[in-house]
Structure 1
Amino acid sequence: MKSVAFLKTLTAVACVTVACSVYAQDNSAASGTAAATAAAPTAAAPASSKKVDRKLGYSVRKALSKAQGLDISNITVRSRSGAVTLTGSVPSQDQIDKAGEVAKGVAGVKSVTNKLTVVQQ
């Protein structure tokens, strides 16, 4: 009998605890407290940074595709805070140099790391 009463009490305490914590989470998220307001910009900053990096990488890739005499089928473009990294392989050294120059000419590119290699096809 005592164990049944103990389990009922323990279950009631657990339910009350869960209900209070759920209410507290909803209340803090809905209210305009300083903690909730301060957390919002930091959560949005990485998302916008990734978006800018993605857009810059896309712009570089597009510029490389428009360059005459450049085989971009094996080139990967990565961007982070304006620093662009080119990796992959091309058929000649001239294309490595040209890819680096084209990437440097894209607006928003601060630096280019050219890790392209020559692979005869």
Structure 2
Amino acid sequence: MKCKLAFVLFCFLTSASMGAYAQTSEASAPTSQSARSSRAADRALSKQVRAALIKAKIVDTPTIFVRAKNGSVTLAGSVSDQSQIERAGDVARGVSGVSSVNNALTVRQPGQ
């Protein structure tokens, strides 16, 4: 009788301790959820900057690549003249949510 009671108690304690140490997918969900929402916010900001460039009638908008990360926007690609580089940077800085602009645009050589 003592042996059966000890065995039942052992099984109960073992199963209770397993539940205490088990990790569920819910424990890691906030991290992946926040990463997803951060990526979505970055994509939305990139789209807003691209839309602002189009609205500002920057001539070489199709050759400008916009990347956003945590409010920091990078403009890359090439344009036909220096004034478009400066204008694109000014337009990007004017978009709500943009905290900084890394303007890596270059002037395209004639014939390219």
TM-score, structure 2 normalization: 0.73
Segments of 4+ moved more than 4 angstroms: none
- Aligned position for 1:104: 93
Aligned residues: 90
- Deviation, structure 1 residue 105: 0.3
In structure 2, distance between residues paired with 1:70 and 1:82: 25
Contact 1:75-1:87 within 8 A present in 2 as well: yes
- Aligned position for 1:114: 103
Residues 46-88 of structure 1 show CA distances to partners (whole Å, capped at 9, x for unaligned) of: 1111000000000000000111353212100000000000000
RMSD: 1.9
Q: How does 1:16-31 map to 2 (within 5 A)?
A: none
Amino acid at match of 1:99: A
Does the C-alpha gap of structure 1 residues 69 and 61 become closer, same or farther in structure 2, counting only changes over 3 Å?
closer
Contact 2:66-2:74 within 8 A present in 1 as well: yes
SS at match of 1:39: helix
Residues 67-115 of structure 1 show CA distances to partners (whole Å, capped at 9, x for unaligned) of: 1353212100000000000000000000000000000000000000000
- Deviation, structure 1 residue 43: 1.5
Identical positions, percent: 49
In structure 2, distance between residues paired with 1:116 and 1:39: 39
Does the C-alpha gap of structure 1 residues 68 and 43 become closer, same or farther in structure 2, counting only changes over 3 Å?
closer
Contact 1:70-1:99 within 8 A present in 2 as well: no
- Deviation, structure 1 residue 40: 1.4
Amino acid at match of 2:33: A
TM-score, structure 1 normalization: 0.68
- Aligned position for 2:13: none
Structure 1, 101-110 or 65-74: larger mean CA deviation: 65-74
Gaps of 5+ in 2: 1-18
Q: State yes or no: 1:73 paired with 2:62.
A: yes
